[in-house]
Chain A
Amino acid sequence: MTVADEAWAVETRGLTKRFGGNLAVDGVELLVPRGCAFGYLGPNGAGKTTLIRMLLGLTAADSGTMSLLGHAVPKHRDVALARVGAIVDEPRFHGHLTGRQNLQVLAASREPAARERIEPSLARVGILHRADDRVSKYSMGMRQRLGVAACLIGDPQLLILDEPMNGLDPAGMQDMREMIRSFVAEGRTVMLSSHLLDEVERTCDAVAIVDRGKVIRQGPISALLSGAAVMLQVECSDPDRARTVLASSALDISVEVTPDGLQITLPAETPHDVIAEVARVLVTEGISLHRLQPMQASLESWFLQVTSRLGENA
């Protein structure tokens, strides 16, 4: 097995970056599996872009090691980046050149075959008809697409996209989502950073949560959500009394009265029998039960549970 055959598309160990007194990336241990869409999630200022910039050799790390597609960077960055495409921050290009000419400039820095991929790449991202227009006339969404085309001219095994949904309208977001899924279907790995939890949940197979420079959770979304608390939404005849009754019961739950009724939070991996027990307790006390609905744990709710923002908001 060669280095490039290793399981991880991205691997970092103890990666740290400091800007003055601000620890932007704090000993990050990140493992991105090959052949999946991987979300790097975090609130604004969590250090997502800084990590990506270090991976791509745009800025140096203070300490730690990292590798892309099995190649250590920055030591072998030329070999590692040969099959990496990336968009960092807002995609900007030479505004006086056309989209095609911008890609020609970039292709010239890659292998000769990259020039032949310009047309297919433009077609793939759906801007071939505007390829000969100046980029200064492009909308934000078109520049995002051109950024993706710039990635594709290198026939990348790994795409690293920093906030790819930024500035896109709903249709553009859907197109981008489908494009990302199609890359994964071709066997490419897509690592994207975002603070749009809903989009990441719809697009990615696995995520890492970063907060204040540290990766605090990572893994497949399904596995992570299975560890999230279970929520029950209850509508009943007397919510206040229901809360008192449930609070005084032996059940390990927390109850909150909301405008819609009761919201009950059960610990993660709570057996379904407990839900039935909640219903039984309420009915036994003569409280009419109109609705009892387990809520699907979302990435957003789970994210808020595990990040420090929850503590800030409390």
Chain B
Amino acid sequence: MTTASVAARTDRRGSAVPTLSMVTTRFMELRRRRGLMVALSMVTVGLPTIFLAVRLLLHAVAPRTYGPAGGYDIYTGLTVGVLYTLGFLVAATLGATAGSVDLNEGMFRHLVVTGRSRLALYFARIPAGLAIIMPLVAIGFSIVCAVCAVAAPSQLSINGMKVPVGLSRTQLETFAVRHADEVLCDFPSFNVNVAVPCGGGGPSGPVIITRSGPTGPATAAQVNAAAIKVADQNYTDYKRQFVVPPISLMVKTGLWLELEAAIGFLVALGLGSLIGQRTVAMVMMIVLEIILTPIVLRTQIPHLINLQRAVIGIATAHLEPSRLPLAFGGGGHDYRVTESTTTAVIVVLAWVIGWTFLGAWRMRTRDA
């Protein structure tokens, strides 16, 4: 056996499985992209950190004007509103970069000439990229969890109104009767026929409202009944809220965010490899996440319902932990295209495997 064949066989150069050394050098190559790393860190860690730091500072300086930095709204706003979408996009940026830079920077042919399997070259990017993006998301999320737990408020806040924690339905109704005017002004409500003066606006006193407008003053009993009705309407949402995020919810939220980031990275990696251009791949991922997914999520088209279910954003939205508000908003109503958890899992797997297959296939067949 010749030296060449011995060398090639001992390092399994034809195998599709990358070596640890390939993964670590690919990790180094991505990590040393200073601009990219700064951008990724700023979005996943910097934004929540700066936001929370400002909230902490303001609350420390003027606690009556500015609420605590933690709590339900902050936690859900930063996780569902920021880390979910931006985590996906930064992961997609990294994936599109990892999928296309070798080609764009002329390194691909150097790597192919080593005789190493092209599939191994592709697969080495997966653990390397995930090893960058997943810790970043984890760090950003951990900061959110830590601040929300440490700087939690003592009471819940519903549209600015302070409400005690842990009330039963009856207790919430009793609380609503005691603070009827505030409940009627601040709590979200529908089909309530009593209006009260709210912050200088509205009627001069409690009135009965019909379709044709105010019909006369409301009695105290009518105001109390309306407050109880509003309390009942909000009880489900109230029960989902918390002062300190429960550990189980933190774990579920963290896993959900990591899943979203991993999907963003893997899909963009395959897309970047397939089309060989980072910018185009990035634009397509942004369109998918920012434009296409919210539209498809909100609009149920009967003849295309199964196609809508196959959109990755719909599937991940269905895997969202139950105590969080819906991704992409919803005003308290679940408008999502219906989908079972099994279907959602299958869609996620299909996207990840499908794009990985496409990216690897293109890598294997592309002229270098």
Residues of A within 8 A of B (CB): 2-5, 53, 56-60, 69, 71, 77-86, 88-97, 101-102, 104-113, 115, 150, 154, 157
Q: Which residues of B contact A108 (CB under 8 A)?
A: 19, 21-22, 24-26
- Give the complex CA separation of A69 and B115 in angstroms: 14
Q: Which residues of B contact A90 (CB under 8 A)?
A: 106
From A88, A104, A107, A112, B28 is in contact (CB under 8 Å) with A104
From A3, A79, A107, B115 is in contact (CB under 8 Å) with A79
Beta-carbon nearest neighbor of A115 in chain B: B21
Assess the B29–A97 pair: CB atoms within 8 A. Answer: yes
B31 to chain A, nearest CB (A): 10
B13: interface (CB < 8 Å): yes
Beta-carbon nearest neighbor of B5 in chain A: A79
Assess the B8–A79 pair: CB atoms within 8 A. Answer: yes
A164 to chain B, nearest CB (A): 15
Assess the A78–B14 pair: CB atoms within 8 A. Answer: yes
Quick one: which of B1-42 are within 8 Å of A by CB? Answer: 1-5, 7-11, 13-14, 19, 21-22, 24-26, 28-29, 32-34
5 residue pairs bridging A and B, Cβ less than 8 Å apart: A59-B367, A78-B117, A86-B113, A107-B21, A150-B110
Assess the B105–A69 pair: CB atoms within 8 A. Answer: no
From A5, A94, A111, B107 is in contact (CB under 8 Å) with A94
Q: Which residues of B contact A78 (CB under 8 A)?
A: 8, 13-14, 115-117
- Give the complex CA separation of A96 and B114 in angstroms: 21
- Give the complex CA separation of A61 and B155 in angstroms: 73
Assess the A93–B107 pair: CB atoms within 8 A. Answer: yes
Assess the B105–A82 pair: CB atoms within 8 A. Answer: no
From A82, A101, A107, B4 is in contact (CB under 8 Å) with A82
Number of interface residues of B (CB under 8 A): 40
Beta-carbon nearest neighbor of B26 in chain A: A105
- Give the complex CA separation of A81 and B5 in angstroms: 9
State the main secondary structure of chain B at its contact with A: helix
As a 0/1 sequence over residues 115 to 142 of chain B, the CB contacts with chain A under 8 angstroms (1 = contact) are: 1110011000000000000000000000
7 closest A-B pairs by beta carbon, nearest first, are A92-B106, A81-B115, A4-B2, A82-B8, A78-B14, A83-B4, A109-B116
As a 0/1 sequence over residues 87 to 116 of chain B, the CB contacts with chain A under 8 angstroms (1 = contact) are: 000000000000001000111011111111
- Give the complex CA separation of A4 and B10 in angstroms: 17
Residues of B within 8 A of A (CB): 1-5, 7-11, 13-14, 19, 21-22, 24-26, 28-29, 32-34, 101, 105-107, 109-117, 120-121, 367-368
- Give the complex CA separation of A157 and B4 in angstroms: 9
From B105, B111, B114, A154 is in contact (CB under 8 Å) with B114
Given contacts A57-B112, A96-B32, contact A105 B25 (CB under 8 A): yes
- Give the complex CA separation of A59 and B2 in angstroms: 26
Given contacts A79-B4, A83-B7, contact A58 B113 (CB under 8 A): yes
Q: Which residues of B contact A84 (CB under 8 A)?
A: 113, 115
A6 to chain B, nearest CB (A): 11
Q: Which residues of B contact A53 (CB under 8 A)?
A: 367-368
From A93, A109, A115, B114 is in contact (CB under 8 Å) with A109
Beta-carbon nearest neighbor of B24 in chain A: A108
Assess the A71–B4 pair: CB atoms within 8 A. Answer: yes
B367 to chain A, nearest CB (A): 4
A55 to chain B, nearest CB (A): 10
Assess the A96–B25 pair: CB atoms within 8 A. Answer: no
A39 to chain B, nearest CB (A): 20
Assess the A80–B19 pair: CB atoms within 8 A. Answer: no
Given contacts A56-B112, A88-B109, A109-B114, contact A104 B25 (CB under 8 A): yes
Given contacts A79-B5, A92-B105, contact A106 B26 (CB under 8 A): no
Given contacts A78-B117, A101-B32, A104-B25, contact A4 B5 (CB under 8 A): yes
Beta-carbon nearest neighbor of B36 in chain A: A96
Assess the A93–B32 pair: CB atoms within 8 A. Answer: no
Assess the A82–B29 pair: CB atoms within 8 A. Answer: no
Assess the B32–A97 pair: CB atoms within 8 A. Answer: yes
A165 to chain B, nearest CB (A): 19
Q: Which residues of B contact A69 (CB under 8 A)?
A: 2, 4
Assess the A109–B111 pair: CB atoms within 8 A. Answer: yes
Beta-carbon nearest neighbor of A102 in chain B: B107
Q: Which residues of B contact A77 (CB under 8 A)?
A: 115
Q: Which residues of A contact B115 (CB under 8 A)?
A: 77-82, 84, 110
- Give the complex CA separation of A110 and B22 in angstroms: 9
Beta-carbon nearest neighbor of A68 in chain B: B4
- Give the complex CA separation of A157 and B6 in angstroms: 14
Beta-carbon nearest neighbor of A57 in chain B: B112
Among B5, B28, B112, max chain A CB count under 10 A is at B5
Beta-carbon nearest neighbor of A104 in chain B: B25
B122 to chain A, nearest CB (A): 12
B22 to chain A, nearest CB (A): 5
Given contacts A4-B4, A108-B25, contact A96 B34 (CB under 8 A): yes
B247 to chain A, nearest CB (A): 40
Assess the B105–A93 pair: CB atoms within 8 A. Answer: yes
Assess the A109–B121 pair: CB atoms within 8 A. Answer: yes
Given contacts A94-B101, A94-B105, A109-B121, contact A56 B113 (CB under 8 A): yes
Assess the B10–A93 pair: CB atoms within 8 A. Answer: no
A295 to chain B, nearest CB (A): 42
Q: Which residues of A contact B22 (CB under 8 A)?
A: 108-109
Among A69, A94, A113, max chain B CB count under 10 A is at A94
- Give the complex CA separation of A99 and B269 in angstroms: 26
Q: Which residues of B contact A4 (CB under 8 A)?
A: 2-5
Among B14, B22, B106, B368, max chain A CB count under 10 A is at B106
A189 to chain B, nearest CB (A): 13
Q: Which residues of A contact B114 (CB under 8 A)?
A: 81, 106, 109-110, 154
Assess the B7–A82 pair: CB atoms within 8 A. Answer: yes
Q: Which residues of B contact A92 (CB under 8 A)?
A: 105-107
Assess the A112–B105 pair: CB atoms within 8 A. Answer: no
Assess the A58–B112 pair: CB atoms within 8 A. Answer: yes
